[in-house]
Structure 1
Amino acid sequence: MNISLLNNSFFCRRLATTALVCLAFSSPILVHASDAELKGMKQEISRQNTVLSKQKKELSSLQNSLKKHEVSIANASKKIRNAEQELTTLKSSISSLKQQQSELTQQQIGQTEILKDLLVNYYLTSRNNQLSNVLSGDDVTKMDRMTQYAQRISEARVGAISQLEFTNMQLEEKEADLLEKQQRQSELLAQYKKEKVTLQTSQNKRKKTVSSIRKRITNESSYLNELQQNEKRLKTAIAKAKAKNNVPMDGIGRQKGRLPWPISNPKTLHSFGTKQTGQLTWKGMVLAGDYGTPVKAVYSGKVVFADWLRGYGLMVLIDHGKGDMTLYGYNQSLMKKEGDKVRAGETIAVVGDSGGQDRPSLYFEIRRNSKAQNPRSWLRR
């Protein structure tokens, strides 16, 4: 009330009006009017807070939906890739089996012909041998020779029959193996088509969700707040990962300027230290890439985080020891899980647009003792 009176007195002096006018402005009516205005302002502030709270809840709900869609896309993409790889292997295996079947069939035909000849020869030899026994004019030596010849033909016949039986058995096994692989191929193709539908459905839902999120982050202030919250979430994730994992490795200290790039043929969209919005700058770099491009670990280490994180999408965090970590975000799907050990150059994910990005890219960051480093200083020129 004193402030109101002071302001009113100042207003009166500025106007240089009569005391009666001043008295009118300083009257209880004005005091009551100010109280009413104050009450109205408080109500408006309360209403605005309610609106903001509702908007935050809606945004969080949309981000949760985005996570659900992008994880679904990641799972479908992974299953499709696995199915494609298995189909390629099966196709090669089926082709090889058919070739083996063809060779065994030719072998079977040849063995059958040999067996036919042996049977004919065995029959003729046995018949001649019987005639020799009847005819007393043949000498004993010739009879012995005929008997030995018949015996050898008989042994060869038995061997040919055994080989033919083994070939037939191999053909039956190959046929069963082929039928099994063709059945698996049919199942995989059905699964492949199903996952394609799932992928397309999730992608359509994701597109609508991303559009809704962007409508709610319409000004620089709300965008800045979202980015600041994302940074806090990342720091929390890193702190938890460090607390859970103690990786006794040598770190990347000796690798400055020698680390390989995480994706091939990278094009830099955003560089470390450049303005993101307001006073906020990029803590890492964003590299353009095609969907499905392999993302590779720049150095050996242990995966300490492999999950979806708001603002970063599907992300992999690798601990290299001595407080050194590398971060890979925006991925379409992850190839490694928490606890996996990885080698330098090993594929850990594939490029995507998760986290609500509008194009396929990779977010790459290097941290030493939780402090962001300029990746260009560490990567090969």
Structure 2
Amino acid sequence: MSTESPSITGPLHDLTVIDLTQMLAGPYCTMTLADLGADVIKVEPPAGDLTRHMGPHREGDSPEALGGYFQSVNRNKRSVVLDLKTAAGRTALLRLAATADVLVENFSVGVMDRLGLSYETLSAVNPALVYGCVRGFGDPRTGGSPYADWPAFDITAQAMGGLVAITGPGPGRPLKTGPGIGDIFPAALCAVGILAAVHEARRSGRGQFVEVAMYDAVLSLCERIVYQHSYTGAVPQPQGNTHPLLCPFGLFPTKDGLLALAAPSDRHWREFCALIGRPELGHDERYATNTGRVAHADAVRDVVTRWLSSRTTADALAVLGGRVPCGPVNDAAAIFADPHVRERGMLSEVEQPGSPAPVVIAGQPIKLSRTPSAVRHRAPLLDEHRDEILSASSAAGDPRHNTSQGQVQ
């Protein structure tokens, strides 16, 4: 497992991000920037991010211990409390924004406008500011929506964006996915959009408004159903652990569990057939191409299942591993035990305040050879960095008298 590495400097070490986000989508976006080295200043209301009060918590941890939800997506950030409903809080935020490169929020449409902290207001203070946001259904600045004022959570986006409709054991039996894809995928896209806007701002000196709608992002994730419907008129349905266009491609039972196996390329299909002692099937005209295998999908899946079901997952991997794309269905315990995960730094230990025993959160999958990403330190305590953040912004001066602050030359 990787440990905190405060000496590592990421590629975004010269980027300052004001983070007004809460829950999962916005914090995941800013977490990505923080892992890549940005100085992310988490601005919280007096009661803190809503997830501070969510678990899970470890038995025996002290009251100041951080729950897993908050620790995971708020690592590498600094915290300051500002009550944006007060004039003092808004003035302090304007000072921070005046010298920042990026501000990110995930409020409902119109919240920042009503606070007097709209994109237009902040842009007047700092013309180079990149303003990023994740909305449920978009912002009027980027396009209208009949649902613009609707609240949204992960499940809403999964359902409306098409993901739920093609996930599940069979037609008419849709399921949500396990992880919060309706939050996390929009968050990842927002981070990409923000970095694109920062790149452009460093040439032009002008920031811009960057927005990702959760609905739009999930629809983009489900791009297959769009072209399927356009080309064929079909309305794709859940079909369990198989694929409508590739075969074999899915989960197959073994003697003691399940194996993920994919051999849609003709080469991999021939390799699979040779490895299981049925080389003739690799050249059978019914199965020799993916098109043929899709047309005879039941027969192909029967061949795969017959061979796998008489072997344990480990035995099957000993034969197929490294030759045919396949892998075990790992649960959390298996992931913790997998040497790949340890060697890739995908389990990161962070300090747990008030406890001598660290906790483990997921690492950063974006790897860079020269300026690596890193989980450098735990999530912040509420208002932990108030003095250092506000003293630095006060030293920068009053933004109302310096509208060029924050421009990158």
Which structure has the higher relative contact order (CA within 8 Å, separation 6+)?
2
Indicate the structure with greater strand content.
1
Indicate the structure with greater helix content.
1
Query: Normalization by structure 2: what TM-score?
Result: 0.18
